[in-house]
């Protein structure tokens, strides 16, 4: 029986590892569709930002209570899963609590920490379910935010419920294991006197008092298998879910923009065109790098701005996969607050959905798959883009430093520069800036005429 369990466990582990590897490759390829941009500079500053924002949850603590709960569920779930190492080794080797005899003084302390965190995760998940489906926090409701209809609601319910069940399985597994240890049954009894009762699960032991030895052993195995297979299934599921930010949140923050908020990047393509028109040496390529080593200028850039995900930068695509769908960006957006269709969260979700559609095309039709759709128009409308005031509220609000505004600007630039689809008021402003160096129609020499009418 033990050999059968070992073989079954190794087979399940190998299947999950293979599947996750395929998903990681597919997601990496989708992210690499984006244009290159150097985000490897200032490593010390990036590391500091990652520790403060990603691990320290700095932005979450603008609301201290929610910040604490999120830290418990995020850090807690990650730390709890350190015990997976022992479970995996037990499953492969056919052992039971492999580490206990070798780190006897430390082992109970570690499991106690895991149990306290597991209980915290369980409680917070219940609270979050109530916030979403009972208290109905506004930014999660599809009645107001159409991007939250159907799948996002189901996805959130699946994840929160799964985490609750996994934590219950972990705690009751420890409790049933303790009862078996107390009874001195089989290999469980071998750890009697070495492994004590644990801080939370000891209060669950009365649930198993009336279980027969056979029933108790069956429950212990069921809880063990449910816990580990549930975690493996969770690992696969998150690659399709908004909870992919569990893996991508840290690198996404590390590679986030270090430029001051409000500073918009010039388009290298336009800089190059201006340099060529003025007869100046070209100092930049489309990706911000220097000209080719052979001294020749690169080929002409085929597109200004972005129409589809291939025209965006790779960091924009990583942003999309890192989005937690928390809606803090949309809740802070003045355009959305005043009833406009723009939702920065939807911008990120649409970008991810577009990449997922391309991935499905690759799998069904081969790596050269192309379709007639694009991110602009098929997913994101001109009405949404034109509503943006570029106020940076969405950028400041995001807990993992995602920048929806960058995508909006690139799509708007395409509409203006490639399709000449700017609103008439914008065209008038562009003309004034070009001719008068200001958005207003009067010349620079008349700009301070108002001062002549001010009484001393």
- In the chain, how many domains are there? 2
Whether 244 is in a domain gets the answer: yes
294 and 177 fall within a common domain: no
Q: Are residues 204 and 92 in the same domain?
A: yes
Does 299 have pLDDT greater than 70?
no
Domain assignment present for residue 46? The answer is no
Mean pLDDT of the chain: 89
Which domain range does residue 156 map to? 2-31+63-254
Per-residue pLDDT at 153 exceeds 80: yes
The tens digit of pLDDT for each residue in 43-58 reads 999 999 999 998 888 8
pLDDT at 455: 65
Q: Are residues 174 and 286 in the same domain?
A: no
- In this structure, the answer to whether residues 239 and 281 fall within a common structural domain is no
Residue that is last in its domain, among 195, 227, 254: 254
Instruction: Identify whether residues 176 and 289 lie together within a single domain.
Output: no
Q: For residue 57, is it within any domain?
A: no
Q: 40 vs 266, which has greater pLDDT?
A: 40
**Looking at the structure, do residues 238 and 344 belong to the same domain, yes or no?**
no
- pLDDT tens profile 308-342: 999 999 999 999 999 999 999 999 999 999 999 99
Q: Are residues 329 and 410 in the same domain?
A: yes
- Where is the domain boundary, 230, 254, 278? 254
For residues 169-173, give the mean pLDDT: 96
Q: Is residue 202 domain-shared with residue 313, that is, in the same domain?
A: no
What pLDDT band is residue 289 in, cutting at 50, 70 and 90?
A: very low
- Is position 230 within any domain? yes
Domain-located, residue 452? no
Residues 331 and 242 in one domain: no
57-99, pLDDT tens digit by residue? 888 888 888 888 888 887 777 777 778 889 999 999 999 999 9
**Does residue 229 lie in a domain region?**
yes
- Give the CATH number, domain containing residue 375: 1.10.1060
Residue 26's pLDDT band (cuts 50, 70, 90): very high
Number of Cβ atoms within 10 Å of the Cβ of 355 = 24
43 belongs to a structural domain:
no
Same domain for 278 and 160?
no
What pLDDT was estimated at residue 145?
93
Identify the domain boundary among 202, 223, 254.
254
Q: Flag whether 127 is in a domain.
A: yes
Q: Do 167 and 19 sit in the same domain of this protein? A: yes
What would the mean pLDDT of 234-239 be, rounded to a whole number?
A: 92
Within this chain, do residues 87 and 16 fall inside the same structural domain, yes or no?
Answer: yes
């Amino acid at each position: 029986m033990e050999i059968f369990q070992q073989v079954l466990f190794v087979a399940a582990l190998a299947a999950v590892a293979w599947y996750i590897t395929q998903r990681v490759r597919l997601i990496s390829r989708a992210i690499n569709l984006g244009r290159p941009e150097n985000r490897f500079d200032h490593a010390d500053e990036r590391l500091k930002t990652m520790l403060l924002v990603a691990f320290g949850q700095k932005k979450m603590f603008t609301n201290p209570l929610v910040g604490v709960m999120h830290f418990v569920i995020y850090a807690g779930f990650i730390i709890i899963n350190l015990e997976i190492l022992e479970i995996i080794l037990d499953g492969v080797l056919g052992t039971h609590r492999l580490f206990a005899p070798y780190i006897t003084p430390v082992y109970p302390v570690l499991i106690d920490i895991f149990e306290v965190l597991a209980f915290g995760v369980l409680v917070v998940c219940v609270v979050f379910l109530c916030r979403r489906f009972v208290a109905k926090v506004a930014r999660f409701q599809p009645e107001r935010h159409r991007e939250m209809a159907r799948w996002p609601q189901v996805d959130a319910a699946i994840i929160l419920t799964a985490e609750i069940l996994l934590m219950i399985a972990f705690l009751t597994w420890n409790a049933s294991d303790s009862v078996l240890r107390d009874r001195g049954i089989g290999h469980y009894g071998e750890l009697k006197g070495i492994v004590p009762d644990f801080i939370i699960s000891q209060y669950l032991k009365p649930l198993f008092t009336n279980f027969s030895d056979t029933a108790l052993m069956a429950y212990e195995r069921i809880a063990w298998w449910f816990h580990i297979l549930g975690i493996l299934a969770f690992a696969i599921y998150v690659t399709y879910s908004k909870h992919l930010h569990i893996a991508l949140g840290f690198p996404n923050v590390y590679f986030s923009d270090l430029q001051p908020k409000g500073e918009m990047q010039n388009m290298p393509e336009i800089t190059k065109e201006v340099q060529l028109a003025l007869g100046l040496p070209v100092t930049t390529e489309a990706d911000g790098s220097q000209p080719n080593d052979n001294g020749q200028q690169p080929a002409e850039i085929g597109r200004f701005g972005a129409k589809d995900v291939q025209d965006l930068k790779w960091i924009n695509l990583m942003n999309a996969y890192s989005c937690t769908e928390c809606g803090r960006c949309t809740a802070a957006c003045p355009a959305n607050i005043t009833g406009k269709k723009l939702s920065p969260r939807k911008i990120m979700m649409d970008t991810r959905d577009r990449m997922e559609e391309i991935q499905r095309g690759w799998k069904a039709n081969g790596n050269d798959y192309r379709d007639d759709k694009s991110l602009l128009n098929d997913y994101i409308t001109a009405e949404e883009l034109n509503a943006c005031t570029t106020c940076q509220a969405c950028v400041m609000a995001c807990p993992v430093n995602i920048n929806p505004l960058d995508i909006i600007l690139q799509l708007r630039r395409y509409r203006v520069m490639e399709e000449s689809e700017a609103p008439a008021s914008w065209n008038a402003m562009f003309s004034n800036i070009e001719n008068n160096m200001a958005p207003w129609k009067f010349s620079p020499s008349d700009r301070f005429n108002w001062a002549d009418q001010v009484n001393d």
